[in-house]
Amino acid sequence: MDTPDSDALVHDPEGGMPRLLEIMRRLRDPETGCPWDIEQDFASIAPYTIEEAYEVADAIERAAWGELEGELGDLLLQTVYHAQMGAEAGLFTFDSIANAISDKMVARHPHVFGGASRDKSAEQQTRDWEAIKAAERADKAAHGVLDDVAVALPALTRAVKLQKRAARVGFDWPEIGQVVDKIAEEAHELAEARDDLTEQEVFEEFGDMLFVIANLARHLKLDPEEALRAANAKFTRRFNAVEAALAAKDKRPEDSNLEEMDALWEAAKRAERARGKLSE
């Protein structure tokens, strides 16, 4: 039920977290709320949650600090949305979510909140973190090494997580050169046999090659998603430069040819490198 106190909180510009929680409660009110918000469930909201997380990452990658506050707010709204639906179903509340993550952070940082020594390298702290997580999984009766690696993760990210889990029990190439050799082998086999394979077999072989490439990223201690995003950004930036160079000649890409565009691409690369040296 809407009350004067509720109205005052909803319209209080300094209302903080209680204000946001009350706004969501009002939006989901079955009698007076928003029809669209009332119809939503966990599954329908999940894609928005993922999208908002990517928009946060995008703002950070672009160093768009003026946008980051708003993007973080959009992401926070997703947690509030799920919390409200959980409360309506009697599953959990926003406070129980906050308490659960607080308990987890305290338990996973005994060197900060307990008596464990802080005299450790970041690498050792990472190993300790993974050991604590493994013990937590054991307590939850997760029997398989790969159990509870989220299926909905981006595919490259999930590949790395699966490989990390397997590596902990010794299922891993010990040398990075073996990974590189495997990539070359997979690429050669795919190129040589593509005309003799079914569409499904080509699909599977290509997936295998991507999986090994993700493994190479892990051995190099790189995030393959981040590396691919950077490559996408670089491609976009350089192709935009090609288009601009063509436009200066009153031409469009479809009026050009590969030889000309490739030369403009190389010019864009050289210009970027020159700018990089000038900024050093």
Report the pLDDT value the prediction gives residue 12, as an integer from 0 to 100.
Answer: 96
Report the pLDDT value the prediction gives residue 277, as an integer from 0 to 100.
Answer: 56
DSSP secondary structure code for residue 91 in this structure: S
Report the pLDDT value the prediction gives residue 2, as an integer from 0 to 100.
Answer: 65
Q: How many residues does the chain have?
A: 280
| Owning domain of residue 213 | 144-222
The residue with greater pLDDT, 132 or 103, is: 103
The yes-or-no verdict on residue 242 having pLDDT over 60 is yes
Q: Is residue 122 assigned to a domain?
A: no
Give the pTM.
0.63
Judge if 52 and 33 occupy the same domain: yes
Q: Is residue 168 assigned to a domain?
A: yes
The yes-or-no verdict on residue 128 having pLDDT over 80 is no
Kindly state the tokens that stand for 237. 């930036």
The yes-or-no verdict on residue 236 having pLDDT over 90 is yes
10/42 Cα distance (integer angstroms): 24
Judge if 211 and 243 occupy the same domain: no
Residue 34 binned pLDDT confidence (cut-offs 50, 70, 90): very high
Choose one of 51, 78, 105: the last residue of a domain: 105
Mean pLDDT score of the chain:
90
Residue 146 binned pLDDT confidence (cut-offs 50, 70, 90): confident
pLDDT above 70 covers a percentage of the chain that reads: 95
Lowest mean pLDDT among 66-75, 119-128, 195-204: 119-128
The yes-or-no verdict on residue 247 having pLDDT over 60 is yes
The yes-or-no verdict on residue 153 having pLDDT over 90 is no
Judge if 157 and 205 occupy the same domain: yes
Judge if 8 and 69 occupy the same domain: yes
Judge if 153 and 235 occupy the same domain: no
Average pLDDT, stretch 201-206? 90
208/264 Cα distance (integer angstroms): 34
Q: What's the CATH code of the domain at 97?
A: 1.10.287.1080
Choose one of 55, 74, 105: the last residue of a domain: 105
Average pLDDT, stretch 26-53? 95
Please say whether the dihedral angle defined by the alpha carbons of residues 180, 183, 184 and 185, taken in this order, is positive or negative: positive
Average pLDDT, stretch 68-85? 98
Judge if 218 and 238 occupy the same domain: no
Judge if 214 and 231 occupy the same domain: no
Q: Is the Cβ–Cβ distance between 182 and 222 less than 8 Å?
A: no
Q: Is residue 193 assigned to a domain?
A: yes
Q: Is residue 60 assigned to a domain?
A: yes
Q: Is residue 243 assigned to a domain?
A: yes
- ∠ CA 47-48-51, rounded to 5°: 90
Torsion of CA 99, 11, 35, 95, to 10 degrees: 10
Q: Is residue 120 assigned to a domain?
A: no
Average pLDDT, stretch 206-224? 94
Choose one of 90, 105, 120: the last residue of a domain: 105
Domain count, the chain: 3
Judge if 47 and 63 occupy the same domain: yes
Average pLDDT, stretch 118-134? 76
Q: Cα 7 to chain center, whole Å?
A: 37
Report the pLDDT value the prediction gives residue 163, as an integer from 0 to 100.
Answer: 95
Report the pLDDT value the prediction gives residue 280, as an integer from 0 to 100.
Answer: 44
Residue 121 binned pLDDT confidence (cut-offs 50, 70, 90): confident
